[in-house]
């Protein structure tokens, strides 16, 4: 055998001389194609996972709300109507737009004034509200559940609720004096 042959032919009956097989370049190409497929597949899974995490982040809503101010508008019998403000803190990871805020329980009704507010993550906004407070019922210990309509970063509108303490709040302090005056008037009228 000559030195140029790389494969030893073990079959003695084969009339053709031994040749170098061409399978080696194909093996390298197949391994390279497989490696490229693995890399691209891994990158694709990473992009999909990242996209899913981003969608979940944009859809998340987490907020905190509490009364911050009030101003008396008027009173009738034992009902005080006031303007007020509600502070809303975006505790979520993405910006939100607060579209509306409403709440009702015995003795208290809250309705926003119709202005949408954009709130960045970690940011605070103040929402103007109209309050209707029945002096005899409003200041119990149970919180008022405020329902918010919120547009998330993915342009979806979601409804979320947050319990707001009315007793001891700025709204309570703003209603105390008018409620005291109404109670005094009711006592005077009751004595006659």
For 102-140, give one letter per residue: b (16+ CB within 10 A) or e: ebeeebbbbebeeeebebeeeeebebebebbbbbeebbe
pLDDT at 3: 55
Give the domain extent around 169: 63-191
Domain C-terminal end among 33, 59, 85 = 59
176, 155: one domain: yes
Query: Measured between alpha carbons, how far is 27 from 118 in angstroms, rounded to an integer?
Result: 59
Number of domains in the chain: 2
103, 141: one domain: yes
The pLDDT-based confidence of 23 (bands split at 50, 70, 90) is: low
**Model confidence pLDDT, tens digit, residues 88-142:** 999 999 999 999 999 999 989 999 999 999 999 999 999 999 999 998 887 877 8
Higher pLDDT, 34 or 103: 103
70, 155: one domain: yes
Cβ-based burial of 181 (10 A; exposed 0-12, middle 13-18, buried ≥19): middle
The pLDDT-based confidence of 178 (bands split at 50, 70, 90) is: confident
pLDDT at 9: 52
Q: For the chain, give the percent of residues with pLDDT over 70.
A: 67
Query: Measured between alpha carbons, how far is 70 from 176 in angstroms, rounded to an integer?
Result: 11
* Straight-line distance from the first to the last Cα atom of the chain, in angstroms, rounded to the nearest whole number: 134
pLDDT at 161: 94
Report for 1-10, 63-72, 87-96, 139-148: range of highest mean pLDDT: 87-96
The pLDDT-based confidence of 73 (bands split at 50, 70, 90) is: confident
126, 152: one domain: yes
Lowest mean pLDDT among 29-43, 78-92, 143-157, 168-182: 29-43
22, 39: one domain: yes
pLDDT at 144: 92
């Amino acid at each position: 055998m000559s030195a140029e042959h790389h494969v030893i032919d073990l079959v003695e009956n084969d009339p053709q001389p031994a040749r170098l097989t061409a399978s080696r370049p194909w093996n390298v190409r197949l391994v390279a194609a497989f490696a490229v497929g693995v890399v691209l597949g891994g990158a694709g899974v990473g992009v999909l996972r990242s996209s899913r995490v981003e969608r979940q982040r944009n859809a998340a809503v987490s907020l905190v709300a509490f009364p911050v101010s009030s101003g008396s508008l008027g009173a009738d019998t034992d009902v005080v109507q006031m303007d007020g403000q509600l502070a809303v803190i975006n505790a979520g990871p993405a910006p939100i737009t607060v579209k509306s805020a409403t709440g009702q329980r015995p003795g208290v009704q809250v309705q926003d004034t119709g202005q949408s507010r954009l709130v960045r993550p970690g940011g605070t906004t103040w929402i103007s509200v109209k309050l209707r407070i029945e002096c005899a019922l409003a200041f119990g210990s149970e919180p008022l559940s405020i329902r918010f309509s919120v547009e998330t970063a993915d342009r979806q509108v979601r409804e979320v609720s947050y319990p707001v303490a009315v007793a001891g709040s700025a709204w309570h302090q703003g209603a105390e004096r008018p409620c005291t005056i109404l109670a005094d008037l009711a006592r005077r009228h009751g004595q006659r």
